[in-house]
Amino acid sequence: MRFFAFLFAAMISIAPATSAQQRALAISGAVAFEAQSLAQLDASATARLLNPRARSNRDAPAVRFTTDWLATQPYIEGGAEWRCLTEALYFEARGETVKGQFAVAEVILNRVESRSFPNTLCTVINQGTGKRYACQFTYTCDGHAEVVNERGAWEAVGKVARLAMAGAAGDLTDGAQFYHTTAVRPRWARVFEHTATIGVHKFYRDS
C-alpha cells in the first residue's frame, strides 16, 4: 500500500511552500473528504456502502459528468477493492463518457449489493474468470494480459471509481445489474428490463 504516502506528498506539493501550518490550512478541506473516502474504500467497509438505494455521501463533491470537472478532482490510490473497480473501468469503459463510466461502475456496485452475485467488488468483477469467454467481464478471461498503457485514462477512471464507491453519483441506471454495448444484441437482454441507455451502453436489471 503506497497510497497514503502518495496522498500526503501530492497534497503538500500543490500548496505554497511557506509553513507547515499554512499548508495544513490550505488543504484541510480536501483532506477531510479524502480521508473519509480512503476509509470507505477499505474492503471491510464495502458492504456498508453498496446499497444502491442508500448510497449517498453528503460530504462528497457534487458530480458533473464532464472531463473538465473530473480533471479538477484529486487522484488518490485506494486499496484492493478500489483497484479492482478501477481496472474494470479502464478495460471496460475508458473510452466512454464520464457519465458512462459512472454508470458502468454503478452496475458493478449494484451487483455487490445483490444476493445473486458475490459480495465484494473484486469477486464480482472476477466471477467466472479462468475459463475463456465464460466470465462476467470479458477482459478478465479473453486470454490477453491486462496492461495499463494509458496513464491519463487510468487516473481518470480511478477518480470515477473512488467517487462512485463514496456514493457521489447517485443512481444513474435505476438499479441495473447488466449492460452491453449498443453494437451487439445479446439474447439475454430480452429477458431483462431495459432501464437506461448511456453513451454506448444499454443497461438492464433483473425485474
47, pLDDT greater than 50: no
pLDDT of residue 82: 97
190, pLDDT greater than 60: yes
Higher confidence at residue 8 or residue 35? 35
pLDDT of residue 127: 84
Q: With 0.75 as the threshold, say if the pTM is over it.
A: no
Amino acid at 36: Q
43, pLDDT greater than 80: no
State the pairing for strand pair 201-205/193-198.
antiparallel
* 33: CB partners within 8 A, 6+ apart: 59, 60, 61
3-state secondary structure 130-185: CCCCCCCCHHHCCCCCCCCCCHHHHHHHHHHHHHHHCCCCCCCCCCCCEEEECCCC
Task: Give the model confidence (pLDDT) of 80-132 as tens digits.
Answer: 999 999 999 999 899 999 999 999 999 999 999 999 999 999 999 988 665 66
Task: Give the model confidence (pLDDT) of 143-176 as tens digits.
Answer: 777 889 999 999 999 999 999 999 888 899 999 9
Mean pLDDT across the chain, nearest whole number? Answer: 75
By C-alpha distance, which of 84, 78, 95, 5 is closest to 42?
Answer: 78
